[in-house]
Amino acid sequence: MKILMVGDVVGKPGRYFFMEQTAELKHSRKIDLVVVNGENAAHGKGLTPNIFDELIKGGADIVTTGNHIWDNTKVMEIIDTEPFLLRPANYPEDTPGKGFCIYPVGKKKIGVINMAGRIFMQPPMDDPFRLTEKILKFIKKDCDIILVDFHAEATSEKLAFANYLDGRVTAVVGTHTHIQTADEKILPKGTAYITDLGMVGADNSILGMTIEPVIKRFLTGRPSRFEVAEGAAIYCAVLIDIDDKKNKATKIERIQIRG
């Protein structure tokens, strides 16, 4: 089995490039499942029903999110009804939506958990380590493969989280920073890992946003309106090969495509 996990999609340039490249990758690399982080897909912040549909039609099977999931209130129209739209599981218990799902691929069942970090992140979240432990006890017997999108800022927290789960989940991939890291590997007990997938968005940008307002905020210390950058895009993801007999990751390949 081959699983593609794609970084944060940012705005229209990211959505269009996601749709274009995912279709090509699914065909050329014979990909069985696509997981993408969509929390920045609607104009750089949040998600709407129409844009969720775009991502699904563009090749996504499961859409994960992060701390920007609530930035567009239209997401409330689908957060409780779309079975394969996730938000971080470690929001308070009465938060709308869900933090994990089980997706069938042929005879296999793929569990996907969406979790957020706590270091340098807002708002404050429940402990992702202990909560993931509880979710695993609940879903492990029903899943052949388990994937985790860990939406977090600190590299130390991501590494600690992945090593804590090493051997008990198939893959832990980081999202949130929009910068792809070059540390993809199989951890000692068999879990595939990368600190951050990166993004799908305008290449000549700062994290998918136009450059000048971001610089202005650093120079002045005052708020400035950020806009999604236009132009040629970059596509960042990893392709994970799974042994179909052992349900173990055998390879993780970093993908970076420039438009």
Distance CA 99, CA 206 (A): 29
Residues in CB range of 110: below 8 A, 6 or more apart? 3, 33, 102, 103, 104, 143, 144, 145, 146, 147
Residues in CB range of 233: below 8 A, 6 or more apart? 13, 14, 16, 17, 200, 201, 202, 203, 258, 259
Both tokens of residue 146? 């388990």
Which amino acids are annotated catalytic? 68
Distance CA 162, CA 159 (A): 5
Neighbours of 254 (CB within 10 A): 16
Neighbours of 43 (CB within 10 A): 15
Q: What is the predicted pLDDT for the residue at 233?
A: 98
User: For residue 203, which amino acid is it?
Assistant: D
Q: What are phi and psi of 191, to 5 degrees?
A: -85, 130
Q: In whole angstroms, how large is the CA radius of gyration of the chain? A: 17
Asked if the peptide bond before residue 123 counts as cis, ω within 30 degrees of 0, the response is yes
Distance CA 234, CA 62 (A): 21
> 197: domain CATH number?
3.60.21.10
User: Over the chain (259 residues), what is each successive 10-residue block's mean pLDDT?
Assistant: 98 97 97 98 96 98 97 98 98 96 97 98 94 97 98 98 98 98 98 98 97 96 93 98 96 97
Distance CA 212, CA 117 (A): 29
Task: Kindly report the average pLDDT of the chain as a whole number.
Answer: 97
Both tokens of residue 128? 């992702």
Burial class (CB in 10 A: 0-12, 13-18, 19+), 150: buried
**Residues spanned by the domain of 37:** 2-258
Q: What is the predicted pLDDT for the residue at 246?
A: 95
Per the structure, the count of domains in the chain is 1
Q: What is the predicted pLDDT for the residue at 179?
A: 98
Helices 49-57 & 11-28, crossing angle to 10 degrees? 20
Distance CA 3, CA 122 (A): 30
Q: Report DSSP state, residue 197.
A: -
Distance CA 53, CA 99 (A): 19
Both tokens of residue 27? 């065909």
